[in-house]
Amino acid sequence: MFSGGSDSHESEAIGSGSAVRAESTERLHFLRSHDLSTELSPALTELIDLEAEQRRIDHRRAELLLEVTETGVCDTLHGHTASAWLADRTQLSPKACGARIMVTRRMTARHRLIIDALEDGRVGWQHVKVLDQVSNKRIWSGLNDLLPEIIDLAQVAGFERWARELRGIGHQMDQDGGYDPANDSANNELRLVATADGFTYVSGKLVGELALTIRKLIEAETDRVLTRYRSDAEASDDETPVPRRAQAAAEALAELLERGSGVPDGEGRLPEPELVVILNEETGKLTDDEGNHLSLEVLRFVLAAGLIRPLDVSNSGDPLRMGRAMRYANRHMRRALLTRDGGCIFPGCDRPASWCDAHHVDEWEHGGPTDVENLALICRHHHRVTHRPSWVMTRDPDQTSYVGFRWRTPSGHFIYSQRHQQRNPTGRCASP
């Protein structure tokens, strides 16, 4: 099943400068001993040294991530999960931090040998990630039996070839066990990612009858959209352009969803999406509830598609009071909180408003009103953190121009709230 080869592996430069640990230059480490051609060029030699150092750093990072995850120190001291704390302190992507921690935990539990090989420089982090993608609960034990040979293969085969061999091994093991990924509904996934430039990226994977049904529906609707465009082009002597099929497919998906939203569910209810448009009267700019810019053209479509609900805000962006005669925040109050907070206000948290509770800062049981100024959006995790013994959340007494909050931790440390995933206007995030 394994095949050897003499493919040379040119390591990618992961840094610059000469700040490399002394031990990597005092001895021939694994990478240099297997790439003697670098002896003719100091620059090439340094690149190999840097890659060897990076692999040791990746190994040490894995050990530390495992330690802080198992001990829960981030949660105890800062009220964060390990991934959220790491993303907040390093300004890295929360998803990337979370993914790295999950890979580290799975590989340490299933394939400790490859983590050790990372420290020795025999594999890089990209090898670890591919093994994690291939390994699963059905075949990980069998892969573990082959792991010494899999690591040895990485020394004689280029990375892409090695990855193909490993994926082939995993696929064969799954088939031998009677598993067919095309029939596993757990493999269905869909992701929508909105970006600050106004784009929404759609990605995913569909299998089985769901894949067949959706593909055929979109293809058929795409043909209908293109037929309509071609008819318009013919009627206008080609003054109406016919779009690319990819554009027609996007419009077809939108039309299918719009028609589907007009069909009541089993209880007779229709989907009721809510669009929030925020107008800055000083600048005239239009944004959605996540701060993304909206053009006038987009607004015209929004106006045509649904209802506009006005929302008054103060000069600092705080929604005005909307009532205090009820225990729980109603949808109008939640809309106001969404406009003000944008999501969880705990600093460094990226949970959207739809994942958050409307928390009474002054508790309802102790006379606290259900008023926008006394409410804050907090995700379920940080809501539980807020109610821990010796954690105290209050309005920030130093802020008079806007509604801000702070937490006092058991150690007396202060943590200050954020808005729309940005630090408060004073720039404070914590204080002793």
The Cα-based distances of 251 to 22, 40, 296 in angstroms read: 59, 58, 20
Contact between 158 and 5 (Cβ < 8 Å): yes
Classify residue 65 as exposed, middle or buried by CB count within 10 Å of its CB (0-12, 13-18, 19+). Answer: buried
Residues 222-227 have a mean pLDDT of 92
| DSSP letters for 87-138 | HHHHT--HHHHHHHHHHHHHHHHH-HHHHHHHHHTSS-HHHHHHHHHH--TT
Q: What digits encode the pLDDT tens for the residues 189-207? A: 999 887 767 788 999 999 8
Top mean pLDDT of 140-149, 200-209, 222-231, 408-417 is at 140-149
Q: Does residue 261 register a pLDDT over 60?
A: yes
Q: Which is more confident, 347 or 305? A: 347
pLDDT at 5 over 50: no
Q: For position 147, what pLDDT does the model report? A: 95
Structure tokens belonging to residue 387: 């109610």
**Residue 272: band (very low, low, confident or very high) from pLDDT cuts 50, 70, 90:** low
Q: What tokens were used for 385?
A: 């953190």
The 10s digit of each residue's pLDDT in 77-86 is 899 999 999 9
Percent of the chain scoring above 90 in pLDDT: 32
Which two structure tokens, joined as six digits, stand for 117? 């090989």
pTM for the structure as a whole: 0.61
> Average pLDDT, stretch 161-168?
94
The string of pLDDT tens digits covering residues 327-378 is 667 777 788 888 888 889 998 888 888 888 888 888 877 777 777 888 899 9
